[in-house]
Structure 1
Amino acid sequence: MALVTYELDDHVATITLNRPDARNAINGALREDLNAAWERFRGDEDAWVAILTANGDVYCAGGDLKDGEGSVGTFAGTFWEKPTINSFESGMELFKPTIAAVHGPCIGYGLTGVLFCDFVIASTEAVFRFPEVTIGVPTIVGAIRLPQRVGWANAMELLLTGEPMSAERAKEIGLVWRLVEPDDLQAEARRWAHTLTKAAPLAQRATKEVAWRTADMGWVESVRFGEVMRKVAGATEDVREGLRAWQEKRTPRWRGR
């Protein structure tokens, strides 16, 4: 049985954690499947948007403390030279739109993965938690990413207490983008994914890359990089199709090239 499933339908890839008997806790085998799914999505030109979700009552229980070997990935090099960008949640460069559809407890590594999604749609029954400090372990990637997402004090609320946070509180601080009833979660995620597929996929990726990279750039460098990306995107077939569709007053037929 695949511990992570990958399904593609109408340009939307659904990546599903599929270890419900272990509360979708991440062990080495699940980690390998999850990394492979994200690599597949990144390289699949027919996949324009991804939904990250899970089977079972628990979205993700975090790292598997009973079977943790390989849960953070496999590495080459010496102790101090291990690469850390080895997965989606640790910073894989991926500029296609991503959606997390979260229900139930979302803990540790699971929450770190959610933080790297562009949109977080959560069930009212979702609960978010970084419990590492309660067992004497620091949170690393979550600590890097979370303050940028929700602000300093809100991030420290999660990171320094290890206490669970309700879906309502997560929506209040900006961790959750949209809150829905449990029965509506998957339909809402797919509805939004299909809304995203109406836009030109290559223009979306260029826009997201500009937003991502310029966060650490000065203003002049940011604008110059953005204008280069405009020229790159301007050379695609989709730009010509978009202009023709506008002139002909019809819906564009994007091809992603």
Structure 2
Amino acid sequence: MGHENEAAAAEPILLREVRDGVATLTLNRPRARNALSTALMAALQEAVDACAADEAVRVVVIAANGPAFCAGHDLREMRARPERAFYEALFAQCSRLMTSLVRLPKPVIARVHGIATAAGCQLVASCDLAVASTEARFATPGVHIGLFCSTPMVALSRNVGRKQAMEMLLTGEMVDAERARQMGLVNRVVAPERLDEAVAELAATLCAKSPLTLRIGKEAFYRQLEMPLEEAYAYAGRVMTENMLARDAAEGIDAFLEKRRPVWQGR
């Protein structure tokens, strides 16, 4: 994975646009195949944190410029600093970023137009939803270079079945977009020319929902996954009770019974 030349280096490594409640965060290291350098991860972390605090943002889309979506960690940067402390800090930074996407109180959609490998595959798996072009490809290929994709494994194994995750991790082989959909890594696969339209449609659908309800539901979804069955039901029951007492739930139910559109207040 190469570094940008001087002209490209003048470009921001992350682009941010907010339109109609949708914040699009675009990885912008095309010559480096959007490798997750420490600088790019820091920029993405800052943008994700800003989206969490911005009431105008209802949905976040992670996109990328250039031929690849994200080719994983920046191997040149990693080899330039062969130090335990650097590696520990690097993987902690990446883990915090991926966890932030899961904890973000708003839905996150990955817009995947090209390859998503290693930590790039982890990035897709860490998003709540993913829409992929038929040209997208996915892999955890660390095994080819003697570096097992252990941190990407955490997100991957929480999205696909064990046998499928192990096959990707042990072989490092590329998986096409349709196979990734069948495995549960992505939600929808569309022709390249329809990718923006499909992402926009999904984002608009989410923006039409109560932001409070989506926040409650997203948090509950991930928390209950880690619980035993009885504990999960007890927790979900408490969540639904609190949700039922919210203004938006009363409005939504009344609107349904009265056959009208609900007016969400986010409380």
Q: Measure, in 2, the Cα distance between the counterparts of 1:231 and 1:245.
A: 19
SS in structure 1 at match of 2:47: helix
Q: 5+ residue gaps in structure 1?
A: none
Residue 62 of structure 2 corresponds to 52
| Residue 26 of structure 2 corresponds to residue 16 of structure 1 | yes
| 2:137–2:176 contact (8 Å) kept in structure 1 | yes
Query: Where in structure 2 are the equivalents of 1:1-257 lying within 5 Å?
Result: 1-68=11-78, 85-88=95-98, 92-246=102-256, 248-257=258-267
Instruction: Write the letter of the residue equivalent to 1:101.
Output: R
Distance 1:216 1:241, change over 3 A: same
Distance 1:90 1:48, change over 3 A: closer
Q: Measure, in 1, the Cα distance between the counterparts of 2:178 and 2:133.
A: 10
Deviation per CA, 1:152-194, whole angstroms, max 9, x where unpaired? 2211221111222222222232222211001111110110111
SS in structure 1 at match of 2:104: coil
Identity among equivalent positions (%) equals 38
| 1:86–1:92 contact (8 Å) kept in structure 2 | no
Instruction: Write the letter of the residue equivalent to 1:39.
Output: D
| TM-score of the aligned structures, taking structure 2 as reference length | 0.84
| 1:35–1:87 contact (8 Å) kept in structure 2 | yes
| TM-score of the aligned structures, taking structure 1 as reference length | 0.87
Instruction: Write the letter of the residue equivalent to 1:219.
Output: L
Q: Measure, in 1, the Cα distance between the counterparts of 2:32 and 2:56.
A: 32
Q: Measure, in 2, the Cα distance between the counterparts of 1:83 and 1:65.
A: 16
| 1:104–1:123 contact (8 Å) kept in structure 2 | yes
SS in structure 2 at match of 1:67: helix
